[in-house]
Chains A and B, each alone.
Chain A
Amino acid sequence: MVNGIQLGSIYALIALGYTMVYGIVRLINFAHGEIYMAGAYIGYFVAGYLGPFFLPTLVIPMLLTPVLALIIERFAYRPLRFAPRLAALSTALGVSIFLQNFVRQFIGADYRPFPQIMTPHTYNVGGVIINNITILVVGVAFTLMMVLQFIVRRTKVGKAMRAVSYDKDAARLMGIDLDYVISVTFVLGSTLAAAAGVLVGIAYPRIDPVMGLLPGMKAFIAAVLGGIGNIPGAMLGGLVMGMAEIMVVYLYSSKWRDAVAFAILIVVLLLRPQGLLGRQLSEKV
């Protein structure tokens, strides 16, 4: 249960990036899982050089990975902004494959142990066994989600983002700089993904180049589950996914966890394609 919340809040952090990018540019950013992987690797190196301190390990990746996301956006996605959607999707897949294998090639394909940031302590709070790493992961995740909510709801950029996601062309007519807003979206999404990467490194101390693939997809499922383009939905979806997965492992067998994730996806798509918190969109002609 507690593990479910921990895993779920990590999925939720990644899912937010998917949902924001999709909400604004209508692109499934397949490379988002790799951004998360990059965050974990940067965290790994920071912790390796500076020593196992929590704050730099978390903050430096959160500052560096958005640069990567900006580069990807600028060189791979922006030229295709008005190209057919299939072209953009294929490019996103290409970026994903490229990043994965880039890391595999230049850093190594092996699993690497993430430096231990803090020694685990176990507490028993009213019968619930919980350890400090879980508290940390969930705490950081929720703080970041609140910050994001604040940015999107209360700031000018957030307002612009909402306007663009509502109607791109009308927003442009109102003088909103589309490229700027999209860049901000990518930056915010990748910051959260980087944080998720570091938190995963802390919670499950093992990182490898393909670590982004499955969590990336599951986070996407979480985004779909909550209603894509919907920020609270992504958080809820992430939690549901995390819980469901841990439940399967706990009740049945870990071999089926991935299949269950995708089964959830297909069931949700069939029953409620707009997601749990989504609203029905009419098809634009």
Chain B
Amino acid sequence: MARSVKTETATRPHVIPGPVRVIGTAAALSALYFLVIAVAGHNPYYMQILSIAAINVIGAVSLNLINGFTGLFSIGHAGFLAIGAYTSGSLTVFLGFPFIPSIIMGGICAMAMGFVVGTPTLRLGGDYLAIATLGFGEIIRVVMNNIDKVGGPRGFTGIPPYSSFFWTYLFAVATVLIIINFVTSSHGRACKSIREDEIAARAMGINVTRYKVTVFVIGSFFAGVAGGLLVHTLQLAHPKMFGIMKSVDYLIMIVVGGYGSITGAIVAATLITGLTEALRFIQEWRMLVYGLLLIVVMLTRPQGLMGGFEVSFDRLAGLLGKPSADAGKQEGVK
């Protein structure tokens, strides 16, 4: 199946110079932030949903790095979220860590676990990896269920509400920017080549295993960060929050958004979070709809809704016909 591979910026007709790009991005992102605050800032319920949407963006984009860009099939993302969540929660509750270090530590622990799990299992073929990650996610859940110090099956409560939309937004933006930089670098191209044809990639001298582990570890780090943010938003962690369905949620987000599309993952994560809340009144039907959605999307558009399409300054500039620094401001979503 042909995928649209992003061409080099140098070959594009409308290329925006670096500094303008940076300022434009910053301007667009802060404009989006203040717009959101202006619209929803007065309502704590909306703000909470927006925080969760931002957290889901982190989860979906980081999973997309693993599944979409490198072609691995990981369905244990919730396990890493759980590690980040419990680590970060424990650090603030038991050791009095401040917010940001606890989040980073959550990410680092998830990353270490990603390395431990990834190094051996990534040697396996795609399907085995799927089942191994699934198994790993379940083990984490069972372990959390059995540690009484963090609440066990009762859940881990009393986590201070350090997080806010400001922080989740900031982390989401940072995640997206870092991952965009990664996938558009030569490392990112190496990952895509592994996705397209692993054997050919190896023949071209790409260290396939090393790239797989790297990507897996980066993905786990951000999943851990997302988990840390999540518990500080909800002020609670519960083993049930990190079951298979959580991993499947993220999978649905990237499938619907399109494997290997950052824009798609962001849009789908936001939409699905909103939809989940909007469908709260028919909650039992939600998963039924999800299942159908997944089947229908796969049957009709196996490449996902956005396919390989990305919103970018260059593309916007191309649409407007001339390179323009305003381009980014008009369409905030990067």
Contact = CB atoms under 8 A, between A and B. Distances in A.
Interface stretch (A55-63, A99-107, A120-128): A99-107
Interface residues of B, number: 43
Nearest to A265: B135
A79 B301 CA distance: 12
Contacts of A283: 199
Contacts of B261: none
B67 interface: yes
| 10 residue pairs, one from A and one from B, having the closest CB atoms | A98-B291, A94-B294, A262-B135, A97-B291, A259-B142, A94-B295, A87-B302, A101-B288, A101-B287, A91-B298
B1 A98 contact: no
Contact of B121 (A76, A94, A256, A269): A269
A93 B251 CA distance: 10
B132 A95 contact: no
A261 B138 CA distance: 10
A90 interface: yes
A79 B131 CA distance: 24
B138 A262 contact: yes
A97 B298 CA distance: 14
Interface string A45-89: 000000000000000000000000000000010011001111111
B71 interface: yes
Nearest to A102: B288
B299 interface: yes
A28 B130 CA distance: 9
Interface in A93-139: 93-102, 104-105, 109
Interface of A: 22, 26, 28, 76, 79-80, 83-91, 93-102, 104-105, 109, 213, 217, 220-221, 224, 255-256, 258-259, 261-263, 265-266, 269-270, 273, 283, 285
A76 B291 CA distance: 12
Nearest to B293: A94
A273 B124 contact: yes
Nearest to A96: B291
Nearest to A76: B295
Given A262-B135, A265-B135, A80 B294 contact: no
A79 B299 contact: yes
Contacts of B293: 94
Given A105-B285, A213-B244, A270-B120, A94 B131 contact: no
A98 B288 contact: yes
A158 to B, nearest CB: 24
B130 A89 contact: yes
Contacts, number: 129
Given A101-B284, A217-B131, A266-B120, 6 more contacts: A83-B1, A91-B295, A94-B291, A100-B287, A258-B138, A266-B132
Nearest to A97: B291
Interface in B241-282: 244, 248, 251, 255, 259
A109 B255 contact: no
A87 B142 contact: no
27 contacts: A79-B299, A83-B302, A86-B73, A87-B302, A88-B298, A89-B127, A89-B130, A90-B251, A90-B298, A91-B295, A94-B292, A94-B294, A97-B248, A97-B288, A97-B291, A102-B288, A102-B291, A105-B284, A220-B131, A256-B142, A256-B146, A258-B138, A259-B139, A263-B135, A263-B139, A266-B135, A266-B139
A85 B127 CA distance: 9
B130 A80 contact: no
Contacts of B299: 76, 79-80, 91
B57 to A, nearest CB: 20
A269 B199 contact: no
A56 to B, nearest CB: 30
B19 to A, nearest CB: 39
